[in-house]
Amino acid sequence: MGSLSLGPDRDRVLDHAAHIVSRMWAEFDVARDTQPETSEELALLLAEGLPQDPSDPIAALDIAAEALDSSLTQARPRYLAYIGSSGLEIGALGDLLAHSHDPNLALDAGSASDIERQTISWLGEFLGYHNAQGFFTSGGTVSNLTALAAAREKALPQSRSTGMGSHTLALYCSAEAHYSVTRAAEILGIGGNNVRSIDIDSQRRLKPDALARAIEIDRSAGVIPMAVVATAGTTLTGAVDPIGEIADICGDIWLHVDGAYGLPAAATHSAGSLFAGLDRADSLSIDAHKWLFVPKACSALLVKKPELLARAFSHNEAYIPHEHGDTNAVDVTLEYSRPLRALKLWLAFKVHGAQGMRDGVDANLAQAQLLYTLAHSAPDFDVLESIPQLSTVPLRHVPQSISAADSSRINAHNAALQLALVADGRIYISPAQIDGNTWLRPCFTNFRTTNADVQVAFDVIREVSNALASA
């Protein structure tokens, strides 16, 4: 039986891996004009069956590197589509270290657990959400689900054990809240039909007066208001719900802030005022693998009262020690086995400082405003009536050959334009359906993106659109 250790090849393999990573990082610094296709040779290799015998690790690494180079990579500076990680270098190294040691944070893991606690504390300070505790999860969906499980237990004690019986609970969120809110309601037994979709204003933010009416109607009907989810950066447009006004309405109703995308902007001077009242929330979620630039997966849930999480999740199993009444991570989290997700963000704060991270977010905010200004001032572009609050800039191009009043043709053209832009390869932009119309949805969450990339994106959209219209 052979060893699973790399043994004497270890240093040679590690040196080769370092060379590959260094080359990748250098390539990410310069935008490429085309997206390479998978070669025939690579396609054959990726269609092979299960290997039964060992092979050269150098050759295997080279195959992996080629496959990744042929993949759609969010780290590249002109990837402006779905909100995701830009692969901060020190964060990637953090993953290597964490996965090499592979501590399990289900229970106390010594200094590894201390790193998680310290990073949560730093994150709370960075955002202005003080004296918070929490932990890291795999993503915003799990973070939201965890918070809402605690909200359910608070609203209806013992529901985790006895179910909800004849009680009906309601969950309130913006009409443009993330689908994970409805998913959480489905999983927790609240029911997707009991998610109240609250109207939005001209800035695409939840209307507090509409929220108050919905809660009053439910209470009059004997429905228990379980929680309100305020979105701090909607996926479609980057709108930030008025958290302070919502907190005024909530009273003793659990207020959760879904800031998976937008919460890093709370740390900036340019956009921080949008998040007034954040410190009044019972819980908040943030994906560091989105706008804090570190690799996936790195979401965090922060709470003011962790004992409420324990009410929803604690167990006293024989194989999990609870000496002196100590609370383990498994008592406040959905997951059991948990990797050290915090290390990549801990290293990011250590190496770049809070100001460096803040500057990265500010740069993206400025790039969004630049693109909006370019499009708003151009007669052949449409933008939303609402000025971008964060870093998402929905826009449409309307060639001269299409009447500005012909919404059907404009929608069809921009749907085709998005596909044409992907085929062109110089930029990558996703589509969005907003108020029944098709828009392009550039979003800036990449520390590598520059103002020059913004100008290129604007010019390429116009160029490809006009070519498409004249074809």
317-344 per-position pLDDT tens digit: 766 766 665 667 888 888 989 999 999 9
Is 46 found in the same domain as 147? Answer: no
Residue 201 lies in a domain: yes
Q: Residue 356 CA to chain centroid, in angstroms?
A: 20
Torsion of CA 151, 157, 160, 165, to 10 degrees: -110
Per DSSP bridges, beta strands 224-231 and 195-198 are unpaired
pLDDT at 108 over 90: no
Looking at the structure of the chain, the number of domains it has is 2
Is 126 found in the same domain as 60? Answer: no
Is 127 found in the same domain as 99? Answer: yes
Helix pair angle (10-28, 57-69), 10° resolution: 10
Q: Which CA distances in Å does 150 have to 146, 147, 221, 280, 350?
A: 7, 5, 24, 17, 32
Residue 251 lies in a domain: yes
CATH of the domain at 199: 3.40.640.10
Burial class (CB in 10 A: 0-12, 13-18, 19+), 334: middle
Q: Which among 76, 107, 129 is the end of a domain? A: 76
Residue 412 lies in a domain: no
Residue 66 lies in a domain: yes
117-158 per-position pLDDT tens digit: 999 999 999 999 998 899 999 999 999 999 999 999 999 999
The residues that bridge with 449 in the sheet, in sequence order, are: none
Is 326 found in the same domain as 188? Answer: yes
- Please state, for a pLDDT cut of 90, what percent of the chain lies above it: 86
What's the pTM?
A: 0.95
Q: Which helix (H) or strand (E) holds 137?
A: strand 133-137
370-426 per-position pLDDT tens digit: 999 999 999 999 999 999 999 999 999 999 999 999 999 999 999 999 999 999 999
Is 136 found in the same domain as 29? Answer: no
Torsion of CA 257, 259, 262, 264, to 10 degrees: 100
Domain holding 64, by residue range, is 11-76
**CB-CB contact of 104 with 116 (8 Å):** no
Q: Which CA distances in Å does 233 have to 125, 240, 262?
A: 20, 5, 4
* Predicted local distance difference test score (pLDDT) of residue 1: 46
3-class SS of residue 230: strand
Residue type, 52: Q
Please compute Rg for the chain using Cα positions.
Answer: 24
Contacts of 118 (CB under 8 A, 6+ apart): 346
